[in-house]
Structure 1
Amino acid sequence: MSTVLEFKLHQLGWFSFEQLCRTIVRESWRQPVEVYSRGPDGGRDGFLYGNRQTGSTLSPTILQFKHSSAADAHFSPSKLKLELDKVKKHVLEGRCEVYVLMTNFKVTGDSASEIQNLFKEIGVREVIIMGYEALCEILTEQKTLRSMVPRLYGLGDLSEILDERHYAQAEEILALMHDHLARLVPVRAHRAAAKALRNQRFALLIGKPGSGKTSIAASLAIGAMDLCDARPVMLSRIDDLHERWNPRDPNQLFWLDDGFGVTQYDSTTAEAWNRAASQIAAAIRGGARFIVTSRDYVYAAARRDLKISAFPLLEETRVVIEVESFSPEEREQILYNHLRLGNQQNEVLMSMSPIDLEEVAADASFLPEIARRLGEPLFTQGLRVSKLDSLLDFFRKPTAFLLEVLTNLDVASQAALGLVHLHSNHLPSPYVATDDDKEFLQRLGVSLGAVLRALPTLEGSFLRLTSVAGERWWKFQHPTFTDVYQGWIEKEPELLAEYIGSARLDDLIRTITCGNVGIKGAVVVPTSLWENVSARLIKIQSSSKLPRITVAWNDAVFQFIAKRCDREFLRLLINRKQTLVEEAFTIESSISGYTSKRLLARVLLDEGFAGDSDRVRLVESLTRKVVEEMGGSFFADEEWLGFFTEAELNELDRRVLEVLSDLDDWVRDELQDPEFGLAFADESVAGYESRYSGNLHVLEARRRIEEFTDYEPDVNSDAWEDEGLATMSAPSQAADLNRSIFEDLTFSRVG
């Protein structure tokens, strides 16, 4: 990289700048750096025994860091006059032969000479000065340093940091994260996830809503691109893997945000993960890596349905982001970054007491996302920021504050948020209203023009305008806004009725329940609107214009009926749709596509809405599938086998063993289909293995699949093996008891 990159180091704040400097020294000189606990520093921000230019002799070296919050400030030697007496004392006591000044000020040649003369006159043997240009040059040359301090990716121009090809690949990540990278503070979970990604090629980040999961994932992805030539691939669902995985590209890095549901557990995802387990393992063997995030309560719900034994990395690489374990410095730095890089006016920031902000950061309710909101004026209107109690309430009652803000928005802004929600958090820009949208706006009594004017006013607070590959759309700034908006419409019957009538079906059935069935975060539809829901389900199911292929669409609908509806709604729906029971017990194609039918069939049997004749018909269908079509995937699922009596299972085993010699030939034929063959064959063989382990025909089929996927990838592992991604710097203690992290919060916030 011939061009020296520029980084907005003035936006770091004094505390983060000192961390950066210590990291540079530690990594460049390969020497431990002494860092002092809070108290008078005696003219030293750090100390080491260095051998930079003195051969093998280790020289006592004092480090001094000077930070400016102004973008283009020039350093004056007069700033060091107070340090001279302190350093002279260290020289006389033999504790300073080398003096290193590191600053983001710009240092002219004349100033550097004057500084060197000042310190040599008091006995310092060597004076090293690193100004803004020198620091940028070091950060340009050393990729490892950038990956260890991931905030730098948000403070520099990524189009220059990454080459053109990588920057194009990163565009979707950058659109998703906006300026969040510039605010990132590497915490213990960040470093643990980096280590898991390096050593096991899989990292699962678990945390509370707003704990910073997505920011960590994004920084790991960008760092891997910069340091390791990784090629990121964004997945919407784990099902997308079979289309996006290239077995001949060992540098793919798959990123799946909210892998088990966005704001609540989506039971279809667990089934998809169970089906994809072997393909994920094959991709990892081929060199690919995975970053997955999930809310803690969502993963806890999904875990009951996941076959952890089939893919143990879900447990082995699980990294929990525990905000309560963040150090005081980490919490304060997170809050500082969001306030300094947010949009609050200086007068508002000046009215916040540093002592109060330290109290807020230490509170048990502290979350990074709430810290971000404190930096946005829209969320703090009427908040008495000069009062500690008000600030603490802001963090302790975030939902109440958001609901109040939402309620007090003008109707055009409320409608704009409603449209984003109706369009599945993906409202196209420029926006053209559909007929359903027009009806929604009419119910609210607001014009389309007013909504179009409101959208840009919500950017940066509630909404984000995302642009990828020529497509632009509006989305919520954070998934927690979806939670709050759904909680709001749940209390507004007219809006809820409109949502039921206008939302995309797959979004509707993943966000509502008919009856309180205990799903956290779901909108519980009152009985007065059950007819609206049933009418929507029946209307769509009877339509020939399905929004996706029939199997996948029915899978989601049957999951909804089985998991998100109580017995009384089920009775109502069966009365409205007499063929529902028959459809639930009918298997027509790949068994793996009908796991939700299995769920619904069991519910119908247990609740008395289906009889033994329905069960027998299902058993006969499953037997035909496995005997005539080698569809053995259901053997891996004890729930399917639960529909068989003991006599029926014995008969099933007899018939399967008669045809099992054909399994290897069937696998060979399936592998001729490059798009779906591998996944289908692997699912079926895994099913046979679960019931007939040790059978020679099954072993031969597995060997054929392994030969198909077993090759020597050209994996560039040198960079991955470097400690860079796994040893990023942790915040260390401040060097001055009398300095608050927040002391320069209001200085030069633009630039």
Structure 2
Amino acid sequence: MDHFDLGRLTDFDFEVLCQDILQETLSLPFEIFTPGPDGGIDLRYFFNKENKIIAQCKHWPKSTRGTLISKLKKEELPKVRAQDPDRYILITTCPLTPGSKDKIMEAFDPYIKNPSDIIGLSEIVSLLGRRSDIVRRHLRLWLSSSSVFQTLLSKGVLLRSSFLREEIEEATLTYVENPSLRRAQDLLQERNVCIISGLPGIGKTTLSHILAIQAMQEGYEIIEISENINEVYDTWDEEAPQLYLYDDFLGQTSAHEKLGKNEDSRILKTLSRVSRAHNKKFVLTTRDYILEQAKLQYEPVARFDFDPWKSLVNLADYAPSIRAKILYNHVYFSSLDLAGKRQFSERESYLRIINHRGFNPRLVTTAIDLFRLTSLDPHVTPAKFVLENLENPTRLWEHIVAEQLDEASVHLLEIMLTIQPCLLNMLKDAYFRYRSVLGATSSPLDFRRSLKVLENSMVTIGQDRGRESTVAYHNPSIRDYMGARIRGERQILVNLVKSASTLREYANVRVLIETPEGQSFKNDRELKSACLERLDHFSNPDSSEEASYTAMILAERIKLSDIFVDPGMLEHGLALLDSGEYIGRWDDPENLVELVNAIFKSKHDFMEKYLAKVTLGATKFIADDMSDWDNATYAESMLQQIVAPIPREVTEYVDLTIAELIDRAFSEAEDGEYDYAIPEMLEYARQNGIHTYDDAAARGLAEQVSSDKVGSFSRLSSGGASKSSEAAQINQIFSTLRDI
């Protein structure tokens, strides 16, 4: 029989569950009551004065039987006598024995009619084991069941990342079902793909975790994508049901963060492939404004119709009662002391928070979690602290960084902006380089101490199975804050540039300088000199392995010259362009795309003379290997990212090669040799008007495979809510904190 960890329910969850149990088992309507001067009533059935049933719900899973009986006699019995009901029912999460039931029944005579009106933990679990319909109506109850929880804690292949497992477990404690869940479930059921978009902190990642745990119950393996879309193909198993999770798939602050290296076309191709698969699902999250930004900057994204797969999470999904439950859950399961939790039961406190124009689940939970670390004023209550941080979200991180962290810890946060998420040893090396540039001495012990100070508040440390620990900012709002803070600090930008050991680290700083805030330093000689020195360093094969990325370095030189409006910075680059030696040993098509686009967008008129020659050389390089469908579509996706006109000879060659690949694949399919990409080819041919092969049998084969879907991704039904008004329900929710 399934077991349920009822300790994972809040007091309010338990009252709503008890209401549902009584209504289902007795076939009578019960009301939930807010504690008041009459007391003694949690649930009531009232037909007339002569036919009144009251019930009390005691969610005391950690109490002993002796403590329960003592409190019932001392505190609850007088209330029951005052109510004088015809029948009294006690429901408790405290384990009971026949002897303890006899003592309770004796004390509450004549109100308890028989032992079955005393419902203890074992009776609740037994009933729930028989009534899956009740369980499915209560999301957190379902998530607490042993079958679900053991799946979550499994050390098998269901979750590769222990860090993800911890995040999902945390989500099961505090998640509140809202309309966005139903929309996402429908998309995943119908299309296999769900792109969850919305504002930062609105609950996109939490929703993706709830979808993941539901999929695990259906037998799906959960694969977290942490670096790039190649991880999908590295883990793809044709036979196994798999759900891929890709959080912030377009980046956390800008589309360039993830799509600058060809992710766009590969992601779109993968989405199409998953949508046709019979045993695969894909859940992705992104900030909505970054998706719109990507559409403006990347042609493949602009042409792609995301709407059928997109599920927007917005504040409209969070009615006041939903917001109330979100706040309540985070308070209930927080590390606040009992006095701090009880302060949220004050009507003015919780109403001002849940009705605040800037209500945001992430800000709420972050403020609650960090209250002890940041609030030094004894007159500031936890509720007031949450409200203050809704008014000024940056205040929370500013206070920690400016007032509470030592210099070494701040330096660790700063260098992380150029490299995170990253492996622990990579961060350690970057930290030592940065501290060296600053003239500060550091030891491994200093690094460990700084990491310890920041862990669980500003940074997280996770470990994928078989891999080194990965370090990242605790949540995207910290990255937002650090980016805004550093963009306006010239000396920090200089020091970060000087400490960069890879082109990736350097480019991440250059992006900050390109922002409006950073542009205020375009005449700064020290910053300009530091950037140029780094690029010269990367260009020198005797000092840096990055020198083999010739095209990428040249693209960065062009961008730097545009930032500082100094054509003299291109002297070395022009020599490479003149000689035609602008493709390095390690350069890939993505780097060539960056180079062509940098030349095309350059502010210097003299760069125009290089455009046609470099575009021809780069596009021929990109289209050099189109021997199979994957290579051909990859090459085409790269060409689509080039903003300069592409030579006609190249486009004709690419179009002809792709048409030949499609023709050959369908011909082979007719002979019984089936290519997995045939459905994708058919769609490509339809969209691009290719008619080189139009065999009805091959089309039928492709369509048959495309329509083969898994049809049982279940959806939890909503229910169990009180029929009272929303205002009364909110009052009831927080009233349970008074007696916590």
TM-score, length of structure 2 as denominator length: 0.76
Of 393-402 and 138-147, deviating more is 138-147
How many residues are treated as equivalent by the alignment?
Answer: 702
Over 3 Å counting, the alpha-carbon distance change for 1:311 and 1:575 in structure 2 is same
Alignment of 1:596-745 (within 5 A): 596-604=594-602, 608-611=605-608, 614-615=611-612, 618-619=615-616, 622=619, 629=626, 631=632, 643=645, 649=648, 662-664=660-662, 691=688, 693-697=689-693, 699=694, 710=705, 715=710, 717-718=711-712, 720=713, 722-724=714-716, 727=718, 741-743=733-735, 745=737
8 A Cα contact 2:592 2:618, kept in partner: no
2:413 to 412, 417, 438: 417
Aligned counterpart, 1:357: 350
The one-letter code sitting in structure 2 at the alignment partner of 1:403 is E
8 A Cα contact 1:44 1:64, kept in partner: yes
By how many angstroms is 1:104 displaced?
2.2
Over 3 Å counting, the alpha-carbon distance change for 1:265 and 1:713 in structure 2 is same
Query: For the residues of structure 1 that align with 2:542 and 2:681, how far apart are their CA atoms?
Result: 31
Secondary structure class of the residue paired with 1:291: strand
Over 3 Å counting, the alpha-carbon distance change for 1:534 and 1:414 in structure 2 is same
Structure 1, unpaired ranges of 5+: 50-59, 92-98, 672-676
The one-letter code sitting in structure 2 at the alignment partner of 1:318 is K
Aligned counterpart, 2:672: none
Query: For the residues of structure 1 that align with 2:650 and 2:223, how far apart are their CA atoms?
Result: 42
By how many angstroms is 1:398 displaced?
1.6
Query: For the residues of structure 1 that align with 2:534 and 2:685, how far apart are their CA atoms?
Result: 40
By how many angstroms is 1:393 displaced?
2.5
The one-letter code sitting in structure 1 at the alignment partner of 2:7 is K
The one-letter code sitting in structure 1 at the alignment partner of 2:272 is A
By how many angstroms is 1:423 displaced?
4.6
Over 3 Å counting, the alpha-carbon distance change for 1:633 and 1:444 in structure 2 is closer
Secondary structure class of the residue paired with 1:289: strand
The one-letter code sitting in structure 2 at the alignment partner of 1:405 is I
By how many angstroms is 1:399 displaced?
0.6
2:139 to 144, 149, 154: 149
Aligned counterpart, 2:156: 165
Query: For the residues of structure 1 that align with 2:544 and 2:721, how far apart are their CA atoms?
Result: 51
Alignment of 1:436-515 (within 5 A): 437-440=432-435, 443=438, 445=440, 447-448=442-443, 449-469=445-465, 471-503=468-500, 504-510=502-508, 512-513=510-511
Alignment of 1:314-393 (within 5 A): 314-323=306-315, 325-346=317-338, 348-349=340-341, 354=346, 355-375=348-368, 376=370, 377-382=372-377, 384-386=379-381, 391-393=386-388
Aligned counterpart, 2:429: 434
Query: For the residues of structure 1 that align with 2:83 and 2:342, how far apart are their CA atoms?
Result: 33
By how many angstroms is 1:24 displaced?
6.2
1:418-445 Cα deviation digits (max 9, x unpaired): 454455244528x994376155167274
The one-letter code sitting in structure 2 at the alignment partner of 1:67 is K
1:220 to 183, 192, 211: 211
By how many angstroms is 1:537 displaced?
3.6
Secondary structure class of the residue paired with 1:464: strand
- Asked if residue 260 in structure 1 is aligned to residue 263 in structure 2, the reply is no
Alignment of 1:545-624 (within 5 A): 566=562, 568=564, 571=567, 573-578=569-574, 594-604=592-602, 608-611=605-608, 614-615=611-612, 618-619=615-616, 622=619
8 A Cα contact 1:193 1:203, kept in partner: yes
8 A Cα contact 1:633 1:683, kept in partner: no
- Identity level (%): 16
Secondary structure class of the residue paired with 1:299: helix
Aligned counterpart, 1:95: none
8 A Cα contact 1:101 1:129, kept in partner: yes
Aligned counterpart, 2:221: 231
Query: For the residues of structure 1 that align with 2:657 and 2:381, how far apart are their CA atoms?
Result: 78
Of 565-574 and 400-409, deviating more is 565-574
Secondary structure class of the residue paired with 1:434: helix
8 A Cα contact 1:682 1:705, kept in partner: no
Query: For the residues of structure 1 that align with 2:544 and 2:702, how far apart are their CA atoms?
Result: 39
Over 3 Å counting, the alpha-carbon distance change for 1:275 and 1:388 in structure 2 is closer
1:107 to 92, 96, 100: 96
Query: For the residues of structure 1 that align with 2:570 and 2:99, how far apart are their CA atoms?
Result: 87
The one-letter code sitting in structure 1 at the alignment partner of 2:95 is K
Of 381-390 and 263-272, deviating more is 381-390
By how many angstroms is 1:31 displaced?
8.2
By how many angstroms is 1:362 displaced?
1.9
Aligned counterpart, 1:54: none
1:701-746 Cα deviation digits (max 9, x unpaired): 995997599489794x44x1x332x648779868967956445558
8 A Cα contact 1:351 1:386, kept in partner: yes
Tell me which of the two structures has the higher relative contact order, counting C-alpha pairs closer than 8 angstroms and 6 or more residues apart.
1
Aligned-residue CA RMSD (Å): 5.2
Aligned counterpart, 1:194: 185
8 A Cα contact 1:36 1:45, kept in partner: yes
Query: For the residues of structure 2 that align with 1:702 and 1:566, how far apart are their CA atoms?
Result: 56
Query: For the residues of structure 2 that align with 1:154 and 1:234, how far apart are their CA atoms?
Result: 23
Of 244-253 and 658-667, deviating more is 658-667
Aligned counterpart, 1:298: 290
By how many angstroms is 1:488 displaced?
2.9
Of 562-571 and 328-337, deviating more is 562-571
Over 3 Å counting, the alpha-carbon distance change for 1:415 and 1:32 in structure 2 is farther
The one-letter code sitting in structure 2 at the alignment partner of 1:506 is R
Secondary structure class of the residue paired with 1:204: strand
Query: For the residues of structure 2 that align with 1:154 and 1:536, how far apart are their CA atoms?
Result: 54
Query: For the residues of structure 1 that align with 2:14 and 2:560, how far apart are their CA atoms?
Result: 51
Aligned counterpart, 1:282: 273
Secondary structure class of the residue paired with 1:611: helix
Query: For the residues of structure 1 that align with 2:480 and 2:499, how far apart are their CA atoms?
Result: 19
Query: For the residues of structure 1 that align with 2:152 and 2:100, how far apart are their CA atoms?
Result: 30
Over 3 Å counting, the alpha-carbon distance change for 1:43 and 1:367 in structure 2 is same
- Asked if residue 402 in structure 1 is aligned to residue 397 in structure 2, the reply is yes
Over 3 Å counting, the alpha-carbon distance change for 1:492 and 1:627 in structure 2 is closer
8 A Cα contact 2:221 2:240, kept in partner: no
Over 3 Å counting, the alpha-carbon distance change for 1:399 and 1:241 in structure 2 is same
By how many angstroms is 1:346 displaced?
4.5
By how many angstroms is 1:658 displaced?
7.6
The one-letter code sitting in structure 2 at the alignment partner of 1:234 is E
Structure 2, unpaired ranges of 5+: 670-674
Query: For the residues of structure 2 that align with 1:546 and 1:728, how far apart are their CA atoms?
Result: 62
1:16 to 13, 36, 54: 13
8 A Cα contact 2:193 2:281, kept in partner: yes
By how many angstroms is 1:603 displaced?
1.6
8 A Cα contact 1:664 1:704, kept in partner: no
8 A Cα contact 2:330 2:365, kept in partner: yes
Query: For the residues of structure 1 that align with 2:522 and 2:692, how far apart are their CA atoms?
Result: 56
Aligned counterpart, 1:269: 259
Query: For the residues of structure 2 that align with 1:171 and 1:338, how far apart are their CA atoms?
Result: 22
8 A Cα contact 1:154 1:179, kept in partner: no
By how many angstroms is 1:316 displaced?
2.2
Secondary structure class of the residue paired with 1:530: helix
1:648-673 Cα deviation digits (max 9, x unpaired): 75x778878887874347659999xx
TM-score, length of structure 1 as denominator length: 0.75
1:369-418 Cα deviation digits (max 9, x unpaired): 22223222113234742497765332211213311220112223323434
Of 356-365 and 383-392, deviating more is 383-392
By how many angstroms is 1:578 displaced?
1.9
8 A Cα contact 2:420 2:473, kept in partner: no
8 A Cα contact 1:632 1:688, kept in partner: no
Over 3 Å counting, the alpha-carbon distance change for 1:14 and 1:162 in structure 2 is same
Query: For the residues of structure 1 that align with 2:202 and 2:423, how far apart are their CA atoms?
Result: 26
Over 3 Å counting, the alpha-carbon distance change for 1:682 and 1:601 in structure 2 is farther
Query: For the residues of structure 1 that align with 2:264 and 2:26, how far apart are their CA atoms?
Result: 43
The one-letter code sitting in structure 1 at the alignment partner of 2:376 is Q
